[in-house]
Structure 1
Amino acid sequence: MIATITKQPGETLRPAVAFSGNASIAAIRAVTVTARGLVPGAPALVASATVSGGVVTLALSGGGDGERYAVTVRADDLGGQTLESEIEVVVLESSWATPDGGAGWLPIAAFVKRFTLDEVVRMTDLDGSGRIDRDLLVGALVDAQAIAESHIASRYALPLATVPRILEMAVGDLARARLYPRGAPEGIADQAKAAMALLVRIQDGKATLGLPAAAAPIETASDTPIVIAPGRRAYPDGLDGY
């Protein structure tokens, strides 16, 4: 089974490479990278490998958003046998922003990790390109976060300094359901309904986010009484004879 990892275009990952039988590696023969061709003109993924203590570690950098790359490592084990291992690298720009410039609560990589790459591609790949339609996915995430914000705004000051895991889960479940325009399957719809019920409980004060007290708006009552005294009429004679 080929392992799949995700990375952002600007980050460098250093994953270990597993070989059959957990073989101990003595030397690296070659590292090759092949782009799947999902994004024409995508930058190359740069890969190099080192071996230490019998373990091979890759250094992966670059790549283009939405592209997928096959990285193949050929190496010799301590017995002189040449082995080969392949991993798939999916490059995703994980961050996104709301229309007003606010930060997205649930990174795309976290959404993909929770619901699997295959499902997210299946839900968003309307043109058969084999990759995630970023605009479609971000649109669903924006809508889901807007729903969540509208429910918690009366209890907590926005923007949140930190986003509790429970809100990330709610946004994920709502966004996932919104990616089924003809109606989400029963289990997915049930999760979205549960997320909405949770947001309503937070709005009603029946559930809390576990945020620091300072993150919630504080209502204070003044000890100074407000006195309303009757005033004099501007024209005591009622403008008699005018």
Structure 2
Amino acid sequence: MIATIIKQPGETLRPAVAFFGNASIAAIQGVTVIARGLVPGAVALVASATLVGGVVTLALSGGSDGERYAVTIRADDAHGQTLESETEVVLIESTWATPDGGAGWLSIAALVKRFTLDEVVRMTDADGSGRIDRDLLIGALVDAQAIAEAHIASRYALPLATVPRILEMAVGDLARARLYPRGAPEGIADQAKAAMALLVRIQEGKATLGLPAAAVPAEAVSDTPIVIAPGRRAYPTGLDDY
């Protein structure tokens, strides 16, 4: 089975490499990288390998968002047998921002981890390119987060310093359902409905997030009490002769 690694373009990853039978490696023969060709003019993925204590570790850097790379490592085990291990490295720019510049609550990598890469590609790959349509996916995430923010804004101060896992789950379920323009399948629709029900409970104060409460507007608070007392009528005769 080919392992899949998700990497952001600007980061360097150092995953350990598994060979058949968890064999102890004595020497590295070489590392090859082949781009799948999903992104025209994609930046090359740089891959190198080191061997320490019989374990091979890759160093992966570079690459272009949306591209996939096949990384093959050939090595000799302690018995002189040549082994081969292949890893698919998928480049995904994970972070995104709301239209007003706010941080996205749920990263694309977290969404992919929860719903699988195959499903996210299937839901967003409108042109058959075999990769995630980033604009389409972010659009669904922006809408889902806006719905969540609207429900919790009266209870919690925005922007959130930390995003509870339960809100990440709600945004993920809502965004996933929104990627089905003709209506989400039953199970996915049920999860979105459950997420909405949770947000309503938070809005009503029936569920809590353990975060700082929303601040009361300054104009609603006064150190000087307003006193209303009965007084004399301005026109005691009631304007009888007017």
Same fold flag (TM > 0.5)? yes
Q: How far apart in 1 are the matches of 2:38 and 2:173? A: 27
Give the equivalent residue in structure 2 for 1:78.
Answer: 78
Q: How far apart in 2 are the matches of 1:197 and 1:210? A: 18
Note the C-alpha offset of 1:218.
Answer: 4.6
Aligned residue runs from structure 1 range 159-198, under 5 A? 159-198=159-198
Aligned residue runs from structure 1 range 1-242, under 5 A? 1-211=1-211, 215-219=212-216, 224-228=224-228
Note the C-alpha offset of 1:210.
Answer: 1.5
Give the equivalent residue in structure 2 for 1:239.
Answer: none
Cα distance change of structure 1 residues 118 and 231 upon mapping to structure 2, 3 Å threshold? farther
Q: How far apart in 1 are the matches of 2:223 and 2:100? A: 39
Q: How far apart in 2 are the matches of 1:195 and 1:184? A: 14
Amino acid corresponding to residue 208 of structure 1 in structure 2? T
- Segments of structure 1 that go 5 or more residues without pairing to the other structure are 234-242
Note the C-alpha offset of 1:194.
Answer: 0.1
Amino acid corresponding to residue 132 of structure 1 in structure 2? I
Provide the TM-score with structure 1 as the length reference. Answer: 0.91
Alpha-carbon RMSD across the aligned residues, in angstroms, is: 1.9
- Segments of structure 2 that go 5 or more residues without pairing to the other structure are 235-242
**Percent identity between the aligned chains?**
87
Q: How far apart in 2 are the matches of 1:81 and 1:232? A: 107
Amino acid corresponding to residue 213 of structure 2 in structure 1? A
Q: How far apart in 2 are the matches of 1:38 and 1:70? A: 12
Q: How far apart in 2 are the matches of 1:184 and 1:66? A: 25
Amino acid corresponding to residue 191 of structure 2 in structure 1? Q
Amino acid corresponding to residue 129 of structure 1 in structure 2? S
Q: How far apart in 1 are the matches of 2:80 and 2:28? A: 11
**Partner-residue secondary structure (3-state), 1:83:** strand
Shift >3 Å, 4+ stretches: 218-224, 228-233
Provide the TM-score with structure 2 as the length reference. Answer: 0.91
1:21-76, Cα deviation, whole Å (9 max, x unpaired): 11000010010000000000110000000011110000000000000000000000
Amino acid corresponding to residue 53 of structure 1 in structure 2? G
Note the C-alpha offset of 1:225.
Answer: 2.5
